[in-house]
């Protein structure tokens, strides 16, 4: 008759089956990993030390001057963009008015595709928003 194996030794302690002891390569790689972790942490702590790497803070007058300069640059860009907008708006409106008074049929042919494109674009943009909100 064949003897059954059980999971306990004669003293009643469980027997660990299939476990292997850590190989020397694994132990060496764990030690190397711990060494690298220790080195990185020590280097990071040195970088965080403000006495070795001080952060230069600008003085208040130079910071205020820089803010004023940036505001002036933004104001100039805004004025330029608004002037371009009004220039193109006047150009387009004058073209539409001149076409409408000189050749009303051509004006209607021009307005129909523009109107359809605007309406279709409006509905497509609304559908995109609904799909984005659902997600």
For the chain, 135 residues long, give each residue's pLDDT as a single digit of tens: 555 555 555 555 555 555 556 677 888 888 889 999 999 988 888 877 767 777 778 899 999 999 999 999 999 999 999 999 999 998 888 888 887 788 877 777 777 888 888 889 888 887 776 665 665
* pTM score: 0.41
Give the single-character DSSP code of 53: S
Place of tokens 């907008």: 85
Helices (H), 49-103: 60-102
> How far is 124 from 109, CA to CA, in rounded Å?
23
């Amino acid at each position: 008759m064949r003897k059954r194996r059980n999971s306990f030794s004669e003293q009643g302690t469980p027997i660990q089956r299939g476990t292997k002891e850590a190989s020397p390569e694994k132990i060496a790689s764990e030690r190397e990993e711990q060494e690298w972790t220790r080195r990185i942490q020590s280097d990071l702590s040195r970088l965080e030390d403000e006495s070795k790497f001080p952060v230069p803070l600008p003085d208040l007058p130079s910071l205020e001057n820089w803010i004023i300069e940036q505001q002036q640059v933004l104001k100039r860009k805004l004025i330029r963009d608004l002037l371009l907008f009004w220039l193109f708006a006047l150009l387009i409106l004058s073209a539409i008015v001149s076409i409408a008074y000189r050749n009303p049929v051509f004006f209607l042919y021009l307005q129909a595709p523009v109107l359809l494109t605007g309406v279709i674009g409006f509905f497509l943009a609304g559908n995109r928003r609904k799909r984005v909100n659902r997600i």
